[in-house]
Amino acid sequence: IYADVPKGPAIEVFALTQAFKDDSNPSKVNLSVGAYRTDAGVPWVLPVVRKTEISIASDEAVNHEYLPVTGLDTFTSAATELVLGADSPAIKENRAFGVQTISGTGALRVAADFLHIHLNRNVVYYSNPTWENHHKIFSDAGFTTLKSYRYWDQNKRQLDFKNMVADLNEAPPGAVIILHACAHNPTGIDPTQEQWTELADLLEKKKLFPLFDSAYQGFASGDPDRDAWAVRYFVQRGFELFTCQSFAKNFGLYCERAGNLTVVQKCAGTKAAIHSQLTWIVRGQYSNPPAYGARIVSKVLNTPELRKEWMASIQTMSSRIRQMRTALRDKLVALGTPGNWDHIVNQIGMFSYTGLNESQVRVLIDEYHIYLLKTGRINMCGLNTGNIEYVAKAIHAAVTG
Ligand code: PMP
194, pLDDT greater than 90: yes
Q: What is the pTM of this model?
A: 0.97
Among the atoms of ligand 1, which is closest to the Cα of residue 34? Answer: 8
Please give the residue range of the domain that contains residue 112.
73-302
Last residue of a domain, one of 302, 334, 357: 302
Could you tell me the distance, in angstroms and rounded to a whole number, from the CA of residue 78 to the centre of ligand 1? Answer: 19
Going by DSSP bridges, is the β-strand pair 370-371/29-30 parallel, antiparallel, or unpaired?
parallel
What atom in ligand 1 is closest to the CA of residue 103?
A: 16
Give me the chain's average pLDDT, please. Answer: 97
The pLDDT score that the predictor gives to residue 206 is 98
| 185 — pLDDT class (breaks 50, 70, 90) | very high
User: Which CATH number belongs to the domain containing residue 372 in this structure?
Assistant: 3.90.1150.10
- Does 142 lie in the same domain as 209? yes
Residue 33: per-residue pLDDT: 81
Is the residue at 268 inside a domain? yes
- Catalytic residue from among 167, 249, 299, 341: 249
In tens, the pLDDT along 196-244 reads 999 999 999 999 999 999 999 999 999 999 999 999 999 999 999 999 9
Residues 150-170 have pLDDT tens digits of 999 988 889 999 999 999 999
Q: Which of 44, 113, 131, 167 is catalytic?
A: 131
Per-residue model confidence as pLDDT tens digits over 262-292:
999 999 999 999 999 999 999 999 999 999 9
Q: Is 131 noted as a catalytic residue in this protein? A: yes
Are residues 238 and 192 both part of a single domain? Answer: yes
The verdict on 30 and 82 lying in the same domain is: no
Pocket perturbation via mutation, ligand 1, pick of 108, 126, 128, 131 by most ligand atoms within 8 A of CB? 131
Of 302, 326, 350, the last residue of a domain is: 302
The reply to whether 29 falls in a domain is: yes
- Beta strands 145-150 and 123-128: pairing type? parallel
Q: Would you state the pLDDT for residue 401? A: 87
Whether residue 232 is found in the same domain as residue 355? no
Q: How many domains does the chain have?
A: 2
- Gyration radius of the chain over CA positions: 21
Name the pLDDT band for 377 (thresholds 50, 70, 90): very high
356 and 215 within one domain: no
Q: What spacing in Å lies between the alpha carbon of 147 and ligand 1's midpoint?
A: 20
Tell me, yes or no, whether 132 and 271 share the same domain: yes
Residue 63 lies in a domain: no
Q: Does the ipTM surpass 0.95?
A: yes
Say whether both 230 and 371 belong to one domain.
no
Q: What is the pLDDT of residue 116?
A: 98
Q: Could you read off the pLDDT of 23-42 as tens digits, one per residue?
A: 999 999 999 988 999 999 99
* Residue 213 annotated as catalytic: yes
Residues 91 and 150 both lie in one domain: yes
Backbone angles phi, psi at 114, to 5 degrees: -60, -50
Residues 135 and 279 in one domain: yes
Name the residue at shortest CA distance from atom 6 of ligand 1.
Answer: 215
> Which of 17, 127, 133 is the best mutation target for the ligand 1 pocket, counting ligand atoms within 8 Å of the beta carbon and taking the most?
133
Q: Which of 268, 302, 336 is the last residue of a domain?
A: 302
Based on the fold, state whether residues 146 and 282 are members of the same structural domain.
yes
Give the nearest ligand 1 atom to 130 CA: 3
Q: Are residues 270 and 141 in the same domain?
A: yes
> Is 140 tagged catalytic?
no
Rounded Cα–Cα distance for residues 178 and 160 (Å): 16
Looking at the DSSP bridge assignments, the partners of residue 97 are: 263
Residue 251: CATH number of its domain = 3.40.640.10
Residue 285 lies in a domain: yes
Are 143 and 290 part of one and the same domain? yes
Residue 244 lies in a domain: yes
- Domain membership flag for residue 95: yes
* 61 falls within a domain: no
What's the whole-number mean pLDDT along residues 375-384?
Answer: 95
Ligand 1 proximal residues by C-beta, below 6 Å:
34, 103-105, 131, 180, 185, 213, 215, 246, 248, 259
168 belongs to a structural domain: yes
